[in-house]
Chain A
Amino acid sequence: MTILRRLVHGVAPRVLWMLVGLLALLLVAPAVLDTYGLSVLILILYFAYVGQAWNIMMGFAGQLSLGHALYAGLGGYVAAGLFTHYGIGPWAGAFAAAAAAALAGAIVGYLGFRFSLAGVYFALLTIAFGEFTRIAFDHLDWFGASGGLFLKVDVAPNPFDLRGGPLLFYYVILALAAGAFLLCRLLLESRLGRYWLAIREDAEAAQAVGVPVLRYKMLAITVSAALTSLAGVWNAFYYNNLFPETAFGMSRSIEITLAPIIGGLGTLFGPVVGAVVLTGLGEVFTSVGDTLGIPGIKQIFYGIALLVIVMYRPAGVWPWLAARFGATERRQ
C-alpha cells in the first residue's frame, strides 16, 4: 500500500489515466497487430527496457558506461549456458544471470570509483571490460567459444522454459519494461534516488551532506547491471543464439545508450520515447532502403537522423514533448 502510494504520489490523475490506458492498449495490441507489427513493438519495448536500466547509471547517478553489453552478454550467456547444459530454465537462470552481472558491475565499479576514474576515463574502463570479456568468451568452450551458443528450438512451447512464439516474448518484455519503469519511479522517489541525483550533480557537495558516495555509486552500477542482464536473458532466448562478437560487441553497448540519450537522460519517459523514435526511424529507413535497393542507405539515414535530433533537442525528445503538452516531468 505504501509502495502504491509512493508510486502515484504527486502524479496528476490525467497522467495516471494516460499510463493505465497505454498499458491496456499494449496488453491488447497483439490481438490487432500482424507478425511484423508485433516484432516492431517487441523491439521498442526491448530498447525501452535496456535504456531504462542504463539510465539508472548515467541519467540518475551520472556515471557514463559505454560497456553495458558486458552485462547483457553475461546475462544471456549464463542463462543460456545453464539451460543448454543443465536444463535449468531461464526463470531460475535469470537469478544467476543477474548475480553474475551484478558481480561484474561491482568489479568495474569498484575499480573505477575507488580509484576515482571520472568521466571519459571511467567510460574507457567500461569499454575495456566489455572488450576483454568478449575476447575471453571467444575461447570459453563451455559457452560455445567463437562458434556461438545455440539454444534448442525443436521443443514444445513451454513458457517456463521461455520456449514459444513471439507472443510469449512480447508479454515478457512488456512486463520487464513496465516493471523497470515502475521500479525507476520508486527509486527516484526515495532517498536512494535523490542521493544518486546529488552525486550526478556534484559528488563532493553530496558527500559533504552525508552521502556515502562510493556506496551509492556501487549501488547504481550493480542495480543497473542486474537489470541489464535480464534483457540479455530475454534476448538470448528470443533469438536462440549467442556470439561473443555481437553479445559483447561495442555496437551492442552503444545501442543500449541510444534510447535514453535521444529520449531524455535522467527522465522516466525518456527511454520509452527514445525507443519509439529510434525503432520507428529504423523501420522507416529499412523500408526506404529496401525500396531504393541501395545497401547501407539505412545506416546513413539513421545516423543523420540521430545527429539532427541530438543537435536540435540536446536534452532529448521527451522534455521537449512534455513542455509542449504541458506535462511536468523535467529532467530530475
Chain B
Amino acid sequence: MTGARLEIAGIGKSFRGLRAVHDVSFAVPAGAIHALIGPNGAGKTTIFNMIAGVYAPDTGSIALDGHVISGLRPDRVCAAGVGRTFQIVKPFKALSVLENVTVGALHRHRELGDARHSAEGILAQLGLYDRRHQLAESLTLPDRKRLEVARALATEPKLLLLDEVMAGLRPTEVDVMVGFLRELNGKTGLTILLIEHVMRAVMALAAEVVVVSYGEKIAEGTPAEISRHQAVLDVYLGEENAA
C-alpha cells in the first residue's frame, strides 16, 4: 500500500440544470492528507461521487497518478486504487462484520480464506476484531463508521476518500480515529482526502484544506491559513462561530 497522487482539473456537474459543482480544481500529492470542507449542499459529496465513479463529470477530468479515472464505473475506480466510505453508512446489514470487510478484501484476494485473513488484520487495527461475528446491523453508529473505513481499506486503496467518518463520534472517539488515520498514513503513505465538519479532526489531520461553497472552490491552503481567510469565515466558519 503506497499513496497515489490525485489531480482534479476543472470538474463540473449539473443535475437537470442545477449546477452542483463548477470548475473545481485541486490536487492531493501522493501520501498527503487533505480535507474538503464547506457548508451543507456545497457540492462536497458530489465531488467525491465524481472521483469514485458514481457520476461522470460533465466537464474536466480526474486523474490518479496520471491515469484518467473520471468516467470509469465505481468498481473500475476501485480497481484503479480508490477506496471510499459513504456519508450515510452502507453496511451489508445481514452479514457479519468480518464478512463485510471480507467482501472488500476479495477485491485483491480471490480466495475466501485469504480475504478473510486480510479482513481480520484490518478489523484488529480498527478495534472491531472482538465484534467480528456480530451482524453489521447490530453495530452502533460509531462502529458502523469504523466498519465503513475498514471495508474501504480492505480493497487496499492508494487513495482513501472519507466522507464524514467523524460525524456522530464523541470527542474521544474522534481522537482515536484521528490517531488511527495518522498512523495509517505515516506507515503506508496512503493518500487521504476527507470531507469533514468536525474541525478538530480537520485541524489535526489535514496538511491542506480545500473550501467549496455553492459548487465552487473559494479557498485553498493550510488549516491555519484557511481559518484566517475572510471568504471562508464569511461562508463557513462564520456561520459556525455564530451558532
Contacts and interface: CB of A to CB of B under 8 A. Distances in A.
Nearest to B148: A205
B74 A331 contact: no
B152 A204 contact: no
Question: Which of A189, A190, A210 counts the most B-chain CB atoms under 10 A from its CB?
Answer: A210
Interface in A179-198: 189-191, 194-195, 197-198
A204 B90 contact: yes
Nearest to B52: A208
Interface residues of B, number: 30
A209 B78 contact: yes
A212 B103 contact: no
Interface in A205-243: 205-213
Interface string B57-100: 00000000000000001110011000110100011111100010
B12 interface: no
Contact of A189 (B95, B107, B112): B112
A283 interface: no
A201 B91 CA distance: 8
B106 interface: yes
Interface in B106-132: 106-107, 110-112, 115
Contact of A195 (B84, B106, B111): B106
A198 B75 contact: no
Question: Which of B78, B79, B154 counts the most A-chain CB atoms under 10 A from its CB?
Answer: B78
A329 interface: no
B73 A209 contact: no
A290 interface: no
Given A209-B78, A209-B155, A191 B106 contact: yes
B93 to A, nearest CB: 6
Contact of B74 (A195, A208, A266, A332): A208
A208 B95 contact: no
Contact of B103 (A194, A204, A332): A194
B149 to A, nearest CB: 12
B78 A208 contact: yes
A198 B103 contact: yes
Contacts of A213: 75
A331 B93 CA distance: 11
Contacts of A211: 75, 103, 107
A97 B115 CA distance: 37
A207 B74 contact: yes
Contacts of A141: none
Contacts of B74: 204, 207-208
A191 B115 CA distance: 9
Contacts of B54: 204
Interface string A282-312: 0000000000000000000000000000000
12 contacts: A194-B112, A195-B106, A197-B103, A201-B94, A202-B90, A204-B90, A206-B103, A209-B154, A210-B104, A210-B106, A210-B107, A213-B75
Given A191-B111, A206-B103, A207-B74, 12 more contacts: A194-B106, A197-B92, A198-B95, A201-B91, A205-B92, A205-B151, A207-B78, A209-B103, A210-B155, A211-B107, A213-B75, A332-B95
Interface of A: 189-191, 194-195, 197-198, 201-202, 204-213, 266, 331-332
